[in-house]
Amino acid sequence: MQYRTLGRTGVQVSTLALGAMNFGAIGRTTQDEATAIVDAALAGGVNLIDTADMYSAGESETMVGKAIAGRREDIVLATKASMPMGEERNHQGASRRWLITELDNSLRRLGVDHVDLYQVHRWDPKTSDEETLSALTDLQRAGKIRYFGSSTFPAYRIVQAQWAAREHRLSRYVTEQPGYSILQRGIETHVLPVTEEYGMGVLAWSPLASGWLSGAVREGREINTNRSAVLPQRFDLTRQVNRTRLEAVERLAKVADQAGLSLIQLALGFVVAHPGVTSAIIGPRTLEHLESQLAAADTVLPSDVLDAIDEIVAPGTDLAPEEKHDTPPALLDASLRRR
């Protein structure tokens, strides 16, 4: 396993981080299975575990807490908040009221007295940066969080938040967690240049492109129903965007074969090759998945392989731009762009 400094914090984290989204109902993973995955990940050198309050409505945090009991100090523990937690209108967002309340809920579920990294899961356009940053700064000063970061923020919001922190003399976001893979390279255009400018750590989620780069989605193979149950449109091969992705996957598989690598090793090696990326977050549902992903822990792609990838998916290109989660609200809601 390789290790890098998380932004400018001085904290050393593994280049593969364990994402716990599949723990609980979402991945139908039991506590025993989750604990076994955590055990194997830690044995493989992983020291960063990332979860969120809304993963299986808190069940993921509870499972992570039980799995790490007795070894908390050896783990860089991260969680997130701001996505809806139930139907109550104020049980979401990045207001002081909700972040303080929900952090206490997360600490209770995790069974810890602090988290190392607390992340705003999505930008909340209804809440000012000053409101959010002042709440997070107070939580940091209270010792409940060590650092805080953003997740899936568009580049202009990252810049605005950095400016607001300086303007109001508050602590700042020290990390960003964007989606990034060979098939979704859009953050190379704006987000990564900004995070590098501000010295932010970058934890890339979905480095296997929701399973497209796992080796399981190939021409002529039936799509596993477990993979397509949540978002079936992502694997509907009657859609042109998915045919384009499949064609890219077939070409990438040949590059991997010629390099003596699995497709997973190629995909994860690509993400951590970018100098702006700190860690790639893997989200195994089973021990078998984890083992295949840990095999990429020491993968370093040579320049000719990276050049071959660039020829298949051009730098800065998203093959499925409609699946991005950082689109400005006015592009999604017509009422926000018309008087």
Query: Which is the catalytic residue, given 3, 55, 173, 180?
Result: 55
DSSP string for 43-65: HTT--EEE--TTGGGGHHHHHHH
Note whether 99 and 127 are within 8 A (CB).
no
Integer angstrom CA distances of residue 39 from 27, 46, 143, 293: 18, 10, 27, 15
- Active site annotation includes 55: yes
Q: How many helices (H) and strands (E) does the chain have?
A: 12, 10
Note whether 174 and 149 are within 8 A (CB).
yes
Instruction: Give Cβ neighbours of residue 302 (< 8 Å, ≥ 6 apart).
Output: 259
Instruction: Give Cβ neighbours of residue 318 (< 8 Å, ≥ 6 apart).
Output: 183, 184, 185, 186, 324
Note whether 166 and 174 are within 8 A (CB).
no
Torsion-angle region of 28 (φ positive above 0: left; ψ -120 to 50: alpha; else: beta): left
Interatomic CA distance for residues 194 and 134, integer angstroms: 22
Supply the residues annotated as catalytic: 55
